[in-house]
Structure 1
Amino acid sequence: MAHKLIYFLSQSHIRSSIAHAWAKKLPLRDVTFISGSWSKARDTNFVNDVLHEFSMEAPNSFSYTPSQKLLEDADLIVTIYDSTHEIAPHFPDTFNKKVVYWDIEDPECISELPTKWAHYQEVCDIIALSVKQLKKAFIEV
């Protein structure tokens, strides 16, 4: 199997870093995962807190901003966006076969703390399931 590069991308690096953390738990060899944002990366303690519930750490890498080279090098670009609050980035047609869109709510859109925390937990669960399906659909082919 050839080495693969999977690039998780979200607007503020929150959901893509959660996906990155879950992907690192997959028992895969010859796959590198990176994550980034198409807008300004934002820090929040909620990411670390929600991942700690699953005995995981957030990736300690910085947010990779999409560049032409990075998009070309990636074997799969997983674009995580919230269709209610965000417009997903458009990629050149040459990348269509390697771009996947996950419509997952942005937990930062909730302002009340107890509700926001519950929303982060729900988003983390949705992303975990999506990453597991990703393994079956794209990596084990």
Structure 2
Amino acid sequence: MKKRLIYFLSQKHIRSSMAEAWAKKLAVTDAQFISGSWCHTQTSPFVADALHEYAMEPPTTMPVTPSQQLLNEADLIVTIYDSASELAPGFPAELKDKIMYWDIKDPELSIDEPAKWAHYQEVCDNIATSVKGLEKVLL
């Protein structure tokens, strides 16, 4: 049986990597989860710290850059963006039925460290809730 391909995509890979980590904890056995970024890859130690709060590790795989072939092969493309500061990428019309948008804040917009850490925790919680909602769609 072919596994469904679920592709999490965010501007800097920070939020999509968190989503991939959460998705791999789901009780969904017929799906492969990958993540990437549409702009550039950025890392932050806060990603690992936020996931460690839940005894989870960030993905060890490299972010997967979107290509037309990957977008065509994906069964679902979850686009995570912050509507207050980012424009979600546009996709060809033929992909519209498999695109899902999650409007989740970019934690990197916080300047000072204590506030940034709190934003990462909040974003991690929001992504966890969204991924758990996705589980109902996938089962």
Give the alignment's TM-score, normalised by structure 2. Answer: 0.98
Which residue in 1 is equivalent to 2:119?
Answer: 119
Q: Does 1:28 align with 2:54?
A: no
Pairwise CA RMSD: 0.9
Q: CA deviation at 1:2?
A: 4.7
Q: CA deviation at 1:43?
A: 1.2
Size of the alignment, in residue pairs?
Answer: 139
Q: Does 1:17 align with 2:29?
A: no
What do residues 10-69 of structure 1 show as CA deviations (whole Å, max 9, x unaligned)? 000000000000000001112100000001100110000100110000000111111000
Which residue in 2 is equivalent to 1:110?
Answer: 110
Cα distance in 1 for residues equivalent to 2:121 and 2:44? 14
4+ aligned runs moved over 3 Å, structure 1: none
Cα distance in 2 for residues equivalent to 1:43 and 1:29? 28
What do residues 101-126 of structure 1 show as CA deviations (whole Å, max 9, x unaligned)? 00000000001111110010000000
Cα distance in 1 for residues equivalent to 2:27 and 2:103? 25
Stretches of structure 1 lacking an aligned partner (at least 5 in a row): none
Which residue in 2 is equivalent to 1:63?
Answer: 63
Aligned-pair identity (%): 60
Cα distance in 2 for residues equivalent to 1:114 and 1:43? 18
Equivalent residue letter for 2:36: G
Q: Does 1:75 align with 2:42?
A: no
What do residues 59-97 of structure 1 show as CA deviations (whole Å, max 9, x unaligned)? 001111110000000000000000111100000000000
Cα distance in 1 for residues equivalent to 2:100 and 2:107? 20
SS in 2 for 1:88: coil
Stretches of structure 2 lacking an aligned partner (at least 5 in a row): none
